[in-house]
Amino acid sequence: MLAMRFMFILLLSVYSPWTLATLPIQQWQSPSGAQVYFIESHDLPILDISMDFRAGSGTDTPDKSGRAGLTLYLLSLGAAGLSEDQIAKEIADVGAQLGAHFDQDRAGLTLRTLSSIRERRQALNVFGRVIQHPEFVVNVLEREQARIIAGLKEADTKPDNIADRTLMKMLYGSHPYGLRGSGEIESVSALRRDDLIDFYRSHYSAADAVVSIIGDLSRAEAAAIAESLTKELSRTKPEDVLPAVTAPVAETKRIAHPATQSHILLAYPGLRRDDPDYFPLLVGNYILGGGGFTSRLMEEIRQKRGLAYSVHSHFSPLKEEGPFEISLQTRKEQSEEALALTRKILADFVAGGPTEKELVEAKKNIIGSFPLRIDSNKKILGYLAVIGFYHLPLTYLDDYLKAVDSVTVAQIRDAFQRRIRPDGMVAVVVGAQEEK
């Protein structure tokens, strides 16, 4: 019955009538040193928490790639005397949900629970154990290593995975962003329990933690929760060792593969999460290739020439320049034509920017869809964690629409010309047509 009640409340939360004016973000530092971001809302009896650390794949090294991801995964597979089955049972018994997220910059865990005292207390007790007292059980580690290695072997046969892995190495070279988040077979095989313990102690620090909370509780309760979840973590702040991203050497790699279609990827270092060009690039990319059927790439490549079912471009902003990427699939015999056309469309867009008509339509679509981005506690929590981790203004959500609406054609053209070099792109074609 409790699980059914929770699911009913979960469905209601998706349609909760949020307005930004009712969502002021409160921020403070806990006694443990953690940064806390809190939104108080009593519309639904739900509590959502995210805990983020600078423990993404960008903290790995080539010989220990995969360590950051494996450390995060094992946190909830045995902690403070609770086995992985006991953790799962304790969480399920109160209708709560544990989750995780991981990228080049961040590693984090999330908790969703009912805000009622008994359910909240039990869920938080388990969550606190997982965060602060993971055990990294040897037999569990060995089992997960075997699972990951099997997954890596399978991934290395798939054209989309081959393309992505190759592209990131070409784009970032020796920079940590070029490392595969799940690691390599050799590095994962070599990891030992002490490696994970050392990484956890050095990167899961209260002094570096960002605790994001939204839901049915007071500030005093939120403060107590944040402190209880971080008070037993290390107080040593890890060094920020991420190097700057440098421009890649322009190159195109063609890799044979028996797939029926060619997988084509192009990339260039894009933008940082706090970049002043963020909104001009965001809106510009929507016009270029992020706006679905209305984008230039889709219009030219699919609608007019039928070279691909879909083509897409996107920025992935990170602490340092994350990738700007264009991706498509096409028949092998059309791969060179599709690649050349993609390059031309990009070069034309960078040189001339969008039209006023394209800009008006893009703004209308971005602004019109924005409410769907913040229509639940869970989605807002994601933004709250980003605001905290990347030190964005507390007014970020309030300012978002104004920032989009203020973008001009000249700003988009200027930003793309300064940040994206069409002739400097790296590209990979997996499933390239074999020469006869």
Q: Domain residues of the chain, as ranges?
A: 2-15+24-230, 251-430
Quote the mean pLDDT of the chain: 92
Closest among 45, 39, 62, 3 to 184, alpha carbons compared: 62
As a residue count, the chain comes to 436
Q: What is the pLDDT of residues 255-313, one digit of tens each?
A: 999 999 999 999 999 999 999 999 999 999 999 999 888 899 999 999 999 999 999 99
Span of 59-63, 230-234, 258-262, 430-434 with lowest mean pLDDT: 430-434
What is the model's pLDDT at position 434?
62
Report the pLDDT value the prediction gives residue 1, as an integer from 0 to 100.
Answer: 40
Contacts of 398 (CB under 8 A, 6+ apart): 20
Confidence of residue 151 (pLDDT cuts 50, 70, 90): very high
2-15+24-230 and 251-430 in the same fold? yes
* Closest C-alpha among 141, 130, 139 to residue 98: 130
Tens digits of per-residue pLDDT, 13-43?
Answer: 433 333 444 479 999 999 999 999 999 999 8
Helices (H), 133-212: 138-155, 159-172, 185-190, 193-203
The CATH T-level fold of domain 251-430 is Cytochrome Bc1 Complex; Chain A, domain 1 (3.30.830)
Q: What is the 3-state secondary structure (H, E, C) of 209-256?
A: CEEEEEECCCHHHHHHHHHHHHCCCECCCCCCCCCCCCCCCCEEEEEC
Structure tokens at 7: 């699911």
| pTM for the predicted model, two decimal places | 0.91
Tens digits of residue pLDDT in 333-346: 999 999 999 999 99
For the chain, first and last CA: distance in Å? 66
For domain 2-15+24-230, give the CATH number: 3.30.830.10
CA 94 to CA 82: how far, in whole Å?
Answer: 16
Using CA atoms, how far apart are residues 123 and 215, in angstroms rounded to an integer?
A: 15
Sign of CA dihedral 261, 249, 176, 268: negative
**CA 295 – CA 354 distance, rounded (Å):** 11
Task: Quote the CA–CA distance of 161 and 93 in Å, as a whole number.
Answer: 38
Residue 435: its pLDDT value, please?
55
